[in-house]
Chain A
């Protein structure tokens, strides 16, 4: 158990809908990262928050947004869902200072999103 929790574990929804994925980082970790894992694209970094502020952006679509709250939990919002958004979404956390490349990341169990 990494100490990172994600809810829900599974989500099935229809195209055009909006969903919210939730992540609670390990106690004491200030950085939260979101990743998308699909068969064709592999594991892609989406976005990072550090202590409530956005710090880095990867291949995140404009239809997607995230935030990190004062209690450090984070939410990833996916809107106008398309079939191609079906994937595993992982949250990870680290103790890490912004842009530190040495921080080990601890991954949650993921949310499997299926868009029908």
Chain B
């Protein structure tokens, strides 16, 4: 079953606007990671936030983590058409045969119109 669930499923904005995507998860985590996937391509790692961190920045990306609410958000500021992609949060399986491996949500499809 999916650990992370992104919200919204789809988001359409104009270039220059900010885009916010949310992720909720179910169990305790060591860290949470965000990945981007351009249509039909492989995933690209964006940022990792550890469970003892509340906020992290990387360029135009800002990630927050609220472990009490089991949620994270990814903010892309001043969006560009090139940011059009699907964005996934991923957590690490804590138990079972896939322990230590990433569990992905279903993703948010972001469309940035020029």
Contact = CB atoms under 8 A, between A and B. Distances in A.
A88 interface: yes
Interface residues of B, number: 27
Contacts of A110: 40-42
Given A42-B107, A56-B98, A102 B30 contact: yes
B92 interface: yes
Contact of A57 (B33, B45, B97): B97
Interface residues of A, number: 29
Contact of A107 (B2, B42, B99): B42
Interface of A: 2, 4, 33, 42-45, 48, 55-59, 88, 90, 92, 98-102, 104-110, 112
Given A44-B104, A45-B104, A98-B100, 14 more contacts: A2-B42, A43-B43, A45-B93, A48-B98, A56-B100, A58-B93, A58-B97, A58-B98, A58-B101, A59-B98, A99-B100, A100-B100, A102-B48, A105-B45
